[in-house]
């Protein structure tokens, strides 16, 4: 293999730049040429591809977002769109591809691999919703962003003796809600993996109020429903003044944490090693702090599991 490509796709995540940097530097270190594909699979179809040098990835390890931009591309889900992408790989002499993103991105990588071009997936998404890796790139940074916001909200919550509902990202996975809730001592955490918790939340709020608690923080993962609706329901049932904060896209931005930079560097470099060793259709990950890789098909067929022991712990600690 002489020439590889790299792209970022799906939702951006802090640390993607560190992963791009690792791919480019590790590949050049091993004598490969690297081409950056802009705007994910859309850029692949459009031939938005340019050669990257050592200097192309200078001064980006600390930046959020992705230097290669990201996009959602419906056309790439079709056979015709995929063939257009393959034509571009041929035209540029690219023999292997590293795709940084979430499970949708890995579907695309699987399709390209099946067409004879080896692809390696790197998990980059703040949701931490990818099986086969303990952590995805961006999760730690998003978590720290949420915690910073909750700490600030907690100050005003105490001053005004209010209940605060904070809606965090996580359409299908409650990891961000669970980890931020545990890290910030939230009274209650609502995650998509465990519904029907409202009565418990109401009861805990009432108990807390009765023993003189000055404020309460309730974390709601967006997959459970709107934070506004949850707050309304709580106010109706407890008669406690309730406010809502939807953290939204602030969670996706910002300079990556040290943990994310290190994770991204390790995973990006490992992906290059796999391509060089003749592997295809694999996703790199980290489990118990060891670099691992799994068949992308197995990843796509497995459901991510939130840590329910941690969920139970969060309840025990907010008794």
Where does this chain bind ligand ATP (CB under 6 A)? 9-11, 40-41, 72-73, 76-77, 101-105, 107-108, 111, 125, 127
Give the C-alpha separation, 132 to 121, whole Å: 12
CA 183 to chain centre: 18
- 227 C-beta neighbours (distance < 10 Å), count: 24
Conformational region of residue 25, where left means phi above 0, alpha means psi within -120 to 50, and beta covers everything else: alpha
Please, are residues 67 and 60 in contact by the beta-carbon 8 Å criterion?
yes
Binding residues for Mg(2+): 103
The catalytic position among 12, 59, 127, 151 is 127
Which CB, 192 or 208, lies closer to ligand ATP? 192
Cβ at position 29, least distance to ligand ATP in Å: 27
Record the tokens describing residue 170, joined without a space: 């996580």
Cβ at position 127, least distance to ligand ATP in Å: 6
Which CB, 10 or 223, lies closer to ligand ATP? 10
Q: List the one residue out of 291, 294, 304, 295 whose CA is nearest residue 263.
A: 291
Please, are residues 224 and 165 in contact by the beta-carbon 8 Å criterion?
no
Cβ at position 139, least distance to ligand ATP in Å: 11
Could you give the C-alpha distances from 229 to 108, 198, 236, in angstroms and in order? Answer: 36, 12, 11
Active-site residue flag, 127: yes
- Beta bridge partners, 49, equal 37
Cβ at position 312, least distance to ligand ATP in Å: 27
Which CB, 79 or 196, lies closer to ligand ATP? 79
Record the tokens describing residue 158, joined without a space: 């105490």
Cβ at position 203, least distance to ligand ATP in Å: 34
Which CB, 142 or 205, lies closer to ligand ATP? 142
Record the tokens describing residue 71, joined without a space: 């996009």
Cβ at position 207, least distance to ligand ATP in Å: 37
Which CB, 78 or 195, lies closer to ligand ATP? 78
Record the tokens describing residue 132, joined without a space: 């086969």
Per residue in 19-38, is it b (16+ CB within 10 Å) or e — as a string? bbbbbbbbbbeeebbbbbbb
- Phi first, then psi: give them for residue 206, nearest 5 degrees: -65, -45
Which CB, 76 or 135, lies closer to ligand ATP? 76
- Tell how strand 188-190 and strand 49-52 pair up: unpaired
Binding residues for substrate: 125-127, 162, 169-171, 222, 243, 249-252
Give the C-alpha separation, 220 to 99, whole Å: 31
Please, are residues 166 and 183 in contact by the beta-carbon 8 Å criterion?
no
Active site residues: 127
């Amino acid at each position: 293999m002489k020439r590889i490509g790299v792209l970022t796709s799906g939702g951006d995540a802090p640390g993607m730049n560190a992963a791009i940097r690792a791919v480019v530097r590790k590949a050049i270190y091993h004598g490969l040429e690297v081409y950056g594909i802009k705007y994910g699979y859309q850029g692949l179809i459009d031939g938005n591809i340019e050669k990257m040098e050592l200097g192309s990835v200078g001064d980006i390890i600390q930046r959020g977002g992705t230097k290669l931009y990201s996009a959602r591309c419906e056309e790439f889900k079709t056979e015709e769109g995929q063939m257009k992408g393959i034509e571009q790989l041929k035209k540029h002499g690219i023999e292997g591809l590293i795709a940084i993103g979430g499970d949708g991105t890995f579907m695309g990588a699987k399709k390209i691999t099946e067409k004879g071009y080896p692809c390696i997936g790197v998990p980059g998404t703040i949701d931490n919703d990818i099986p086969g890796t303990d952590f995805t790139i961006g999760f730690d940074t998003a978590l720290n962003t949420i915690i910073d916001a909750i700490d600030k909200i907690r100050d005003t919550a105490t001053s005004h003796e209010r209940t605060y509902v904070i809606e965090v990202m996580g359409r299908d996975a409650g990891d961000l809600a669970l980890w931020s809730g545990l890290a910030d001592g939230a009274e209650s955490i609502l995650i998509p993996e465990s519904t029907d918790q409202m009565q418990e939340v109401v009861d805990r709020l009432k108990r807390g109020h009765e023993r003189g608690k000055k404020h309460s923080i309730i974390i709601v993962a967006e997959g459970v429903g709107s934070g506004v609706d949850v707050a309304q329901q709580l106010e109706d049932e407890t008669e406690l003044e309730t406010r809502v904060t939807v953290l939204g896209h602030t969670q996706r931005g910002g300079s990556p944490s040290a943990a994310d930079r290190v994770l991204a560097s390790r995973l990006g470099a490992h992906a290059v090693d796999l391509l060089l060793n003749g592997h295809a259709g694999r996703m790199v990950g980290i489990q118990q702090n060891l670099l691992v890789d799994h068949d992308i098909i197995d990843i796509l067929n497995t459901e991510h599991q939130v840590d329910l022991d941690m969920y139970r712990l969060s309840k025990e600690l907010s008794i």
